[in-house]
């Protein structure tokens, strides 16, 4: 009995940067596309961190780590603390409404 070939068709979204990157990679590999996809899927399934690679929390953690490393080695200096939030009080709310009225011409 011969090997049975199973065909699968993939649809990529050209508006998704990840899909575009994969399309570029597959387009540059005229042969062995199947092996590339097989290896990628098996790695994704066997590596729990791969599924979380682009999550918001993972990205935040990575950015924090990079900033801390840059602060530690001195390559990032002069970071100012974010400005304190301006407190809204009844007095400055009136000032703001007066200012907005002036802009509206009233």
At 12 the pLDDT is 92
Domain count, the chain: 1
Please say whether the beta carbons of 90 and 97 come within 8 A: no
Side-chain-side CA neighbours of 47 within 13 Å: the count stands at 11
Quote the DSSP letter at residue 83.
Answer: P
pLDDT for position 47? 80
Q: Angle at Cα 23 formed by Cα 17 and Cα 26, nearest 5°?
A: 145
- Give residue 56's pLDDT: 79
| Residue 73: per-residue pLDDT | 87
- pLDDT value of residue 80: 56
* Residue 23: domain span: 17-73
Judge whether 94 lies within some domain.
no
User: 84 in a domain, yes or no?
Assistant: no
Among residues 36, 38, 8, 5, which one has the least CA distance to residue 23? Answer: 36
Instruction: Name residues of the chain where pLDDT drops below 70.
Output: 1-2, 50-54, 78-106
The reported pLDDT for the residue numbered 55 is 75
Asked if residue 102 belongs to a domain, the reply is: no
The per-residue pLDDT for range 42-70, each reduced to its tens digit, is: 888 888 776 666 677 877 888 888 888 88
pLDDT score of 48: 72
Residue 55, in any domain of the structure: yes
DSSP, collapsed to helix, strand or coil, labels residue 17 as: helix
Tokens of 103: 């802009």
**Can you give the pLDDT at residue 70?**
87
């Amino acid at each position: 009995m011969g090997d049975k070939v199973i065909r699968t068709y993939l649809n990529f979204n050209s508006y998704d940067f990840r899909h575009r990157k994969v399309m570029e990679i597959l387009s540059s590999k005229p042969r062995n596309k199947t092996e590339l996809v097989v290896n990628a899927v098996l790695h994704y399934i066997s590596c729990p961190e791969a599924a979380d690679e682009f999550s918001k929390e993972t990205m935040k953690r990575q950015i924090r780590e990079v900033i801390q490393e840059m602060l530690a080695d001195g390559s990032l200096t002069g970071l100012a603390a974010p400005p304190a939030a301006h407190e809204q009080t009844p007095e400055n709310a009136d000032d703001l409404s007066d200012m907005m009225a002036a802009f509206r011409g009233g």
